[in-house]
Chain A
Amino acid sequence: MDTTPKAIAGVSTFLDDRIGAGSFLKRNMRKIFPDHWSFLLGEIALYSFIILLLTGTFLTFWFKPSMGEVVYSGSYQPLVGVKMSEAYASALNISFDVRGGLLIRQIHHWAALLFIAGMMVHMLRVFFTGAYRKPRELNWLIGVGLLSLALLEGLTGYSLPDDLLSGAGLRITEGVMLGIPVVGTYLTFLLFGGEYPGHDVISRFFTIHILLIPGILLALISAHMVLMWVQKHTQMPGTGRTNKNVVGAPFYPTFMAKAGAFTLFTFGVIALLGTFAQINPIWLFGPYTPADISAGSQPDFYMGFLEGSLRLMPSWEINFLDHTVSLSVLIPALVPLGVVMTGLALYPFIEQWVTGDRREHHTADRPRNNPHRTAIGFTGIAFYGVLWLLGANDEISANFHISLYETTIFGRFAIFLVPALAYFVAYRICIGLQRKDAEVLSHGVESGVIKRLPNGEYIEVHTPAAQDIADHIRGKEEIPIIESGVDGDGIPPKGARTALGRLRAKASEAYGTDHIPLDEGHGHDEHAAIGAGDHSDGHRDGH
């Protein structure tokens, strides 16, 4: 094709004449995107969000966010004649009396789970590769905000069908709100329009769920995308890749097509789940009443860690001067969430403070090359994981026949021990992997060729690592350490004189010291002769 088709040319001229689209397109059509599978994890969340908007809109056409009482008369026989809220009845109606309604409801719920799971794995990728570093701290903070909002969005959506399971979650939400010191009772009465459950909470949650939070999410996601676009994506270290360039494929046509394909994959996999894996079968739960509850009442997975922390807590409560502070509610509800979210939000700034590193970073760290960061990340995962696991301790107890209390008591210890262990193990693995890298560079890789030397000794011939692997390994960046040493007169620099300064210096040294520097070794090693190819026994010197 040598000329642009008339239709396209017409439209583009029209747009260019009015908004000057040409200069924007000139700059951006061939924008380069680096390729790596882990760079698509965030897109899982992005496309799930789009699916959530589409399916959610469909659901609102039939859903009635009302707590008014009706007598069910729809297609689901075991509930006919049962009194229930209009919200629950309309959710049943969507499931059984609207063609495709059940499918869309299930797709909506699966997409919600994958939305949050996608955000979590994307965030872990960004964390472990240090992609939150300058200049991307703002986008990282937007990401933390998105995750927090998504949890709230999930909670409000989970409560809408007003079934017995979602009601249990709502009741726990109320109980936790009541526990907030000083204002808890007032907040609860405002949210529920009086006493629990009242008649307002479903319609209020509905507005929050379909308008307020999605609106904020949409705005923040757009900002997230724009910043990513402006700052250009980080890339993995490799041949020809530096901190000052970006190597990859152009937006048009390749990246566009790939993104389109991944959108379809996301939608397709979620549709598969919606077809073959039943989710949130509200008709089995029955209508909500505060008088009843089912064994194994659980929140969706992303709230599981809060459930677990509530279960772990011993029964602490303080009474003073006619007031009550319910520690067995407050600590588990606020501390883990606070530790995880605040820790995530502050990490880029703490790291900057510790390393004194104010440079821009556009090349991703391999997780092994910053062992303390990686170990801290795994500590967080372990902390979250233990709480999440304990959130399902009743199902574990019932299905594996382990005593219920033993799981709780195990959890009370594990919440401190497992993260510590995770730190240690992850750190050692990182060091081990670094050692392996150093060895690949200095000794090459095993070629599979065994040689017998004149003196009768057998050796395996090592060949130099392939160019791209070697370059990938050489992408390791040194982690800076702040100046803390004494100067010529024996006086430490100004910043390192206070207690905080000394702490900073110490942390900086621990964080930045490279135990396994890459050694572009000289292969004259007695056991690893580096030969380039099997027909050559010439030794290879350095690089």
Chain B
Amino acid sequence: MIGTGNSVNSITARRRHPLARYAVVALALGLLGGGYAVAAPGGSSADAAIASGKADDVAQGKSLFVAHCASCHGMNAEGTAKAPTLVGVGAAAVDFQVSTGRMPAADAGPQAPRKPLGEWVTPQAIDDLAAYVQSLGGGPARPAAEQVDPAKGDPAKGGELFRANCIQCHNFVGAGGALTYGKYAPPLNPATPTQIYEAMATGPQAMPVFNDSTITPDQKRDMIAYITHVRQQVDPGGSGLGRIGPVTEGLVAWIVGLSLLILAAIWITAKKRRTHA
């Protein structure tokens, strides 16, 4: 929830309870995290290499990796005490982690949050990094555009799978939820179709893996169709109150409903202030 991208903010902000989310704090934290990521050491020489566009992808990726990732994941992605090996995680994992801003991680919290991208994170840079990591030991590849096109999926079928596999953590519309020890299932609203696909295929952080042989790519596309359909859909009954269920409804009943009625009661019974007949 911290520092969601700008383009999706307009969609999601409307669906959130304005006070409950401490939007200001979140924004401040997001900026702080982003600022830290930008200010983090390293990067300038690799950036220059990308700009020149001469070296091949894997080599470029390697130099980006050394600059931005190796301090935690090791010089050859073999993993360290701080972070796991990236051999075999595949291009999909790299794209998910880097394009959502989760990696490079800003701090050692219980969970790496989505945050604004660092300056060096261009589509080209992600391609290079992904190519490098894929070259280390294979793993889930990135989906083709057609594989994640919501228009090609069946939202009704996807909804059934979504309810069977996803909502226990992410909530019935993907508003997110709590996990143990400060971890949380993030809201799905900011995620692009590609990112949703990659998360299922790779199981980032605490999330389990839904591999292609048990949940097929077509079924994943159906789920993406459902998620995107429902998050774009208007709330026909008025404000969605964050779409998190009865908690906000109860607050509204007390704070708005009851307060308005008490104000009306005070008006009805107030003494007439008249000193002369």
Chain A interfacial positions (CB closer than 8 Å to B): 35-41, 43-44, 77-82, 95-96, 102, 106, 110, 113-114, 117-118, 121, 164-165, 258, 261-262, 265-266, 269-270, 272-281, 284-286, 289, 291-301, 304, 392-395, 397-405
Contacts and interface: CB of A to CB of B under 8 A. Distances in A.
Interface in B147-164: 155-157, 159-160, 163-164
A299 B246 contact: yes
B230 A78 contact: yes
Given A164-B163, A273-B252, A301-B249, A262 B265 contact: yes
Contacts of A292: 163-164, 167-168
Contact of A265 (B176, B241, B261): B261
Given A80-B156, A106-B237, A397-B178, 4 more contacts: A102-B236, A114-B258, A286-B159, A298-B247
Contacts of B53: none
19 contacts: A40-B265, A40-B269, A81-B157, A82-B160, A113-B257, A114-B257, A114-B261, A164-B172, A262-B264, A270-B257, A275-B238, A291-B164, A294-B168, A294-B172, A304-B247, A395-B178, A395-B244, A401-B1, A404-B179
Interface string B88-127: 0000000000000000000000100000000000000000
Given A277-B238, A395-B244, A296 B175 contact: yes
Contacts of B159: 78-79, 82, 286
B41 to A, nearest CB: 27
Nearest to B271: A35
A110 B250 CA distance: 9
Interface stretch (B4-12, B57-65, B181-189): B181-189
A401 B264 CA distance: 38
B250 A82 contact: no
B268 interface: yes
A121 B178 contact: no
B265 A295 contact: no
A314 to B, nearest CB: 16
A239 to B, nearest CB: 12
Nearest to A121: B258
Contacts of A37: 262, 265-266, 268-270
A395 B179 contact: no
A277 B250 CA distance: 11
Most buried by A among B185, B266, B269, B271: B269
Interface string B14-44: 0000001110000000000000000000000
Contacts of B1: 399, 401
Main secondary structure of the interface of A (DSSP, over half): helix
A370 to B, nearest CB: 23
B73 interface: no
A299 B246 CA distance: 6
B260 interface: yes
Given A81-B156, A292-B167, A113 B250 contact: yes
A295 B156 contact: no
A164 B269 CA distance: 44
Contacts of B168: 292-295
B241 to A, nearest CB: 6
A300 B250 contact: yes
B258 A401 contact: no
Contacts of B249: 113, 277, 279-280, 300-301
A300 B249 CA distance: 8
B68 interface: no
Contacts of B170: 295
Given A277-B252, A285-B172, A394 B269 contact: no
8 closest A-B pairs by beta carbon, nearest first, are: A295-B177, A301-B250, A278-B237, A397-B178, A113-B253, A40-B265, A403-B182, A398-B178
A277 B265 contact: no
A179 B251 CA distance: 31
A117 B258 contact: yes
Nearest to A79: B156
Contact of B257 (A273, A280, A285, A295): A273
B260 to A, nearest CB: 5
Nearest to B252: A277
Given A77-B155, A277-B238, A397-B178, A296 B268 contact: no
B17 to A, nearest CB: 8
B226 A278 contact: no
B156 A82 contact: yes
Contacts of A262: 264-265, 268
A438 B177 CA distance: 53
